[in-house]
């Protein structure tokens, strides 16, 4: 059970780190902004690692925003109550 709890903490921290990356300050500087690579409709999607990282970052930022808030609140409450 100890290992599972640590894996949950680690995954939550990694997803939080991806979710708070700023497009203007960090991602645009290293050219990983979702707006820097946007294939048009009908064109084949790029299968490079760079494109996959851009897709992962943008999908985590849009899909995991509300669930991350709930998960973080639950983890904070768990730590406060059971320490």
* Rounded Cα distance, 61 and 67, in Å: 11
pLDDT for 13 = 92
pTM confidence score: 0.67
The rounded distance, in Å, linking the Cα atoms of 10 and 16 is: 10
Residue ranges, the chain, pLDDT below 70: 1, 23, 26-46
DSSP notation for 1-16: -HHHHHHHHHHHHHHH
Q: Under 8 Å CB-to-CB from 28, ≥6 apart: which residues?
A: 36
């Amino acid at each position: 059970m100890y290992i599972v709890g640590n894996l949950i903490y680690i995954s939550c921290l990694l997803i939080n780190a991806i979710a708070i990356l700023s497009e203007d300050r960090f991602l645009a500087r290293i050219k990983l902004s979702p707006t820097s690579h946007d294939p048009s409709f009908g064109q084949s999607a790029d299968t490079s690692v760079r494109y996959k990282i851009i897709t992962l970052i943008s999908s985590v930022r849009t899909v995991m925003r509300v669930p991350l808030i709930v998960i973080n609140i639950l983890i904070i409450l768990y730590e406060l109550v059971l320490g």
